[in-house]
Amino acid sequence: MSGTFPIPTGSLLALGAILFCIGLYGALTKRNLIIVLVSIELMLNAANINLVTFSRLGVAPNISGQVFALFTITVAAAEIAVGLALLLAIFRVRRTTEVQDLDVHKH
Amino acid sequence: MQFFLNAPMIGFYIISLCILGCAVMLLSFQRVIYMALAIGGVFIGCAAIYILLGADFVGAAQLLIYAGAITILIMFAIMLTNHEAADPPHKWTPRNILSAVGAVLLGAVLLLVIRSTTWPPAVDADVNGGNSNPVAVGLALFQNYTVPFELVSLLLIVGMVGAVILARERKEDEDE
Amino acid sequence: MVEYAWLVPLLPLVAYVFLLVLGRRAPEGIVAGVSVVLTFIAFLVSALVFRSVGQNPDLTGPYVFHWLTVGSKSLTVGFEVTHLNALMLVVVSLVSTLVLLFSKGYMHGDDRFPVFYQYLNLFVFSMLALVISPNLLQLYIFWEMVGLCSYLLVGFWYFKPEAALAAKKSFIVTRIGDVGLFVGIILLFLASGSFDYSTIFTAAAAGKLSLGWISGSGLVTLAAILIFVGAVGKSAQFPLHVWLPDAMEGPTPVSALIHAATMVAAGVYLVARCYPLFQLSPAALSTVAWIGGITALLAALIALTQRDIKRVIAYSTISQLGYMMMALGVGAYAYGVFHLMTHAFFKALLFLAAGSVIHAVDTQDLFEMGGLYRKMKLTAWTFLAGALALAGIVPFAGFWSKDDILAAALESGHTVLYAFGLIAAFCTAFYIFRVYFLTFTGEPRDPERYEHAHEGSWVMTLPLVVLAVLATIGGFFNTPWSGYGLERYLFADSPQGSIGVTTPENVGLMALSVVVGLLGIGLAALMYGRRRRIEPEKLARGASFLYQLSYRKFYLDEIYYFVVVATGKAIAAVVDFVDRYIIDGIVRLVGWVVGLVGTGLRYTQTGQVQAYTAVAAFGVLILVAWAMWSIGGVL
């Protein structure tokens, strides 16, 4: 297993960057709270792609990158669980999942 | 044209296209449930990228947790709430424009950074230390990262309990 | 007995604490009884101290113990008995006892009767402790305490606005003098390293007082004048005399005790106590003499026309204190102290008699009284004794002391001061008999008040009688017939055999004084007596300017108002303007701008999480772009 790795680092990182920006756009514009959460997951995945890329192709290739990605996945799982639970609780009270309707922070 | 000369490269481009396509679909669908399906595509594509990069275990975990558990959880949440919900047709409202400009500019900056950085030669390094990838990951987790691993397990417990408490119907409250 | 002198101030303190514990609802009899008995014991103790000091001069001197060490200086507290302060102890405790007894009748029925006695006892304690202090620091402490008691007692009827104002005025004006005294004490401490009288005087006499920036003799003069400034404030000398007439808003026993017999005499006592210092500085002595002389004349002139019985006596007090200062200033130490003593008796008598009158008719305006002799014979007779003593008629107490002062002034070559004193003596005789005639003779001007008038009970008349006797015979302590007992007594512990100057009896001068006094009385009788020959109103109109000058107290209050208060107000107005419109303006501008910005920013607070996130995202974008740009080579 030696020799030049076939995929250039830059391409992988570019994929991550584009994915991150798409996720950001979704998180900023989507009206449904669930989709906002999903967009955030998208951004987390973009970060994960970077982590795994650097684990293989960085200055000092190391398994730690993959371990870190695993931790991220775990945290994301916990986050989505709590986030959806919150969403259900809000829905039960407000009968809506529209982000725009949740503006009790105003004033 | 050198890029297309090897199979992994071709695979990478196809997978990338799938991921980005799914992501764009996610943004352009109007029915919420379709969006949830599109995100599943993104997750699966990411898992493919991981495997392509030799991170077999992460890829498998990605499939199980994201593509499996999380996508299903999201679908459940959609069904439990307003499953008929749909975003209105996309309009170029000021906020949308601003968000788009922000996202595009950020992407441009990042791509410029990536482009102008001189990356080290992409050597096909052996990160598994001679073992198979899952063994290597397991050794790293239980040798070097034991404490974070345990902390993460605690986090999961807390998250689970919190989710249960938050999502629970408060029957006793309603009775009173 | 001398070593028990500390009992003298302690007994009123015990009374004070006892009354404090009894509280505000204590019965009047117990309150007054305890106070009078304890103060009377203090008087007996001081009389014994006085006797043993007189018999054995070796017993005098400080009894001190170490208090604390400040740096390399050691401070002491304790008490000291000298011939001077043994005499003061007797006078103060005697007058205090009588006034406390008198107050029982005068203050009867007042809501805060026990509080009044608390204050009085605290005052008596402070005054006695002031007298017995062995060093200047301790003196200053009690000096301020008597000032505080004076404030409390002048403002005792604080619900009267005039009383509250007068209390404030007396406190602030005397404070001006106190600053001088304080600076003087500190100067002496810096120069000699001690607060003790004896140490300071010894060093001063040996010419060892010096500081880097001032010569030895200059320092003595400066310190003496600063101490005198304190005395000017306390003894209401010109130009700080304005507080004393206003202080008459307090209850009359307070005026008798504090503003006639004791506290105001503390200034004179202080100068007398520091006499060794003053003697070293001719400049300081002549300052004292001139201030005293001017005060004596000025106050006597003002007293001629006042309508308020207590104010007349108050100006008389200022005038007499001026005599004492003049005596000290011309070198007649013994006569100043002598006059201090006799004045304490006859002025307390006059005030208490006036209090008795006020108590009977419930007014202080002379022109609402009249004919009271028929109702209050005893008060009238005792007042007459005090008036004769004040006017300096043979053989009453005031004659001997005042005549000695005038003779000493002439003897020492201060002819102008002698003339001042003589004119003042004429005025004194006139104004006090004006009061007497207006109050006790003639027809009642206010029949309704006259009907209610009556003599007070024995607690009020007994002090009057005792004081009247003292005012009559008090002068004989220092006459040839007693072998100049007071002089011998005062000079007993002086190595030179005398302090200051004494003058032999001069029959011609005596006769002149008496004639002047009789002339004053005669003029008063012509104007206000039963067969009036001169209409006072016509005279007032004829000499309208002079009358107004006297009646308006030489416009000193107004002048002070314009010079001090108006200037202060003008400065304050400028400061107020700056503060209100410039400083506040800036502050308000800042507040207004912030408010405006806040109002604008309020519209950005939509409550939309995504809007906030967008802002955060833009922030991240800017930060990343900036970081990349500053690294260089990327953008």
pLDDT level of residue C306 (50, 70, 90 thresholds):
confident
Give the closest-approach CA distance of B105 to chain C in angstroms.
8
pLDDT given for residue A1 in this prediction: 42
SS3 of residue C303 by DSSP: helix
Does position C546 have pLDDT exceeding 80, yes or no?
no
- Among A22, A44, A90, most B C-beta atoms within 10 A, so best to mutate, is A22
Is B95–C610 a contact, with Cβ atoms under 8 angstroms apart? Answer: yes
CB C280 within 8 Å of CB C223: no
Give Cβ neighbours of residue C379 (< 8 Å, ≥ 6 apart). Answer: C353, C356, C357, C360, C372, C455, C456, C461, C464
Interchain contact C548–A (C-beta under 8 A): no
Has residue A91 been placed in a domain?
yes
Has residue A107 been placed in a domain?
no
The Cβ-side half-sphere exposure at B168, using a 13 Å CA radius, reads 12
Has residue B15 been placed in a domain?
yes
Does position C68 have pLDDT exceeding 60, yes or no?
yes
pLDDT given for residue A2 in this prediction: 45
pLDDT given for residue C333 in this prediction: 84
- Among A20, A45, A71, A86, most B C-beta atoms within 10 A, so best to mutate, is A45
pLDDT level of residue A104 (50, 70, 90 thresholds):
low
Range of the domain at A33: 9-102
Cα distances (Å, whole numbers) of residue C203 to B105, C44, C60, C276, C277: 91, 36, 20, 11, 10
What digits encode the pLDDT tens for the residues B62-115?
A: 999 988 889 998 888 888 887 666 666 777 888 888 888 888 998 998 888 888
Burial of C235 (0-12, 13-18, 19+ CB in 10 A): buried
pLDDT given for residue B172 in this prediction: 56
Q: Quick one: closest CA in A to C599, which residue?
A: A107
What digits encode the pLDDT tens for the residues C229-252?
A: 999 988 888 888 888 888 888 888
Q: Which of B60-69, C297-306, C548-557 has the highest mean pLDDT?
A: B60-69
Number of structural domains in chain A: 1
DSSP C579: I
Has residue A15 been placed in a domain?
yes
Has residue B126 been placed in a domain?
no
Interval C107-130 mean pLDDT: 89
Q: C575 or C216: whose pLDDT is higher? A: C575
Distance CA A80, CA B166 (A): 13
Give me the DSSP letters along C34-102.
Answer: HHHHHHHHHHHHHHHHHHHHHH-GGG-EEEEEEEEEETTEEEEEEEEE-HHHHHHHHHHHHHHHHHHHH
When mean pLDDT is compared across B93-97, C68-72, C461-465, the lowest value belongs to: C68-72
pLDDT level of residue A105 (50, 70, 90 thresholds):
low
Does position C493 have pLDDT exceeding 70, yes or no?
no
When mean pLDDT is compared across B124-138, C122-136, C241-255, C533-547, the lowest value belongs to: C533-547
| pTM beyond 0.80 | no
Cα distances (Å, whole numbers) of residue B113 to A47, B65, C333: 16, 32, 102
CATH, residue B55: 1.20.120.1200
pLDDT given for residue A23 in this prediction: 92
What digits encode the pLDDT tens for the residues A70-99?
A: 999 999 999 999 998 888 888 888 887 777
What digits encode the pLDDT tens for the residues C400-422?
A: 888 888 888 888 888 888 888 88
**Does the predicted interface ipTM exceed a cut of 0.95?**
no
Has residue B116 been placed in a domain?
no
Interchain contact B66–A (C-beta under 8 A): yes
Q: Which chains touch C (3 or more CB pairs under 8 A)?
A: A, B
pLDDT level of residue C81 (50, 70, 90 thresholds):
confident
pLDDT given for residue B147 in this prediction: 92
Has residue A2 been placed in a domain?
no
pLDDT given for residue C182 in this prediction: 92
Partners of C606 on chain A (C-beta within 8 Å) are: 103, 106
Partners of B117 on chain C (C-beta within 8 Å) are: 634
Partners of B36 on chain A (C-beta within 8 Å) are: 34, 38
pLDDT given for residue B1 in this prediction: 42
Nearest to B125 among A7, A29, A56 (CB): A56
| Mean of the per-residue pLDDT values of chain A | 85
Has residue B37 been placed in a domain?
yes
Range of the domain at B14: 2-87+131-175
Nearest to C614 among B102, B113, B116 (CB): B102
When mean pLDDT is compared across A60-64, B110-114, C606-610, the lowest value belongs to: C606-610
What digits encode the pLDDT tens for the residues C121-136?
A: 999 999 999 988 888 8
| Mean of the per-residue pLDDT values of chain B | 84
pLDDT given for residue C451 in this prediction: 76
Nearest to C617 among A28, A36, A103 (CB): A28
Q: Quick one: what percent of chain C has pLDDT higher than 90? A: 7
Does position C489 have pLDDT exceeding 60, yes or no?
yes
Partners of C628 on chain B (C-beta within 8 Å) are: 109, 112-113
pLDDT given for residue B176 in this prediction: 42
Give Cβ neighbours of residue B155 (< 8 Å, ≥ 6 apart). Answer: A74, A75, A78
Interval C515-522 mean pLDDT: 85
First to last CA, chain A: 61
pLDDT given for residue B2 in this prediction: 52
Does position B133 have pLDDT exceeding 50, yes or no?
yes
Radius of gyration of chain A (CA): 18
Is C625–B109 a contact, with Cβ atoms under 8 angstroms apart? Answer: yes
pLDDT given for residue C157 in this prediction: 87
CATH, residue A61: 1.10.287.3510
Interchain contact C578–B (C-beta under 8 A): no
Interval A59-68 mean pLDDT: 86
Among C371, C350, C351, C354, which residue's Cα sits nearest to residue C363? Answer: C354
Q: What tokens appear for C612 in the block?
A: 């906030």
Interval A10-34 mean pLDDT: 89
The Cβ-side half-sphere exposure at C513, using a 13 Å CA radius, reads 32
Number of structural domains in chain B: 1
Partners of B105 on chain C (C-beta within 8 Å) are: 621, 625
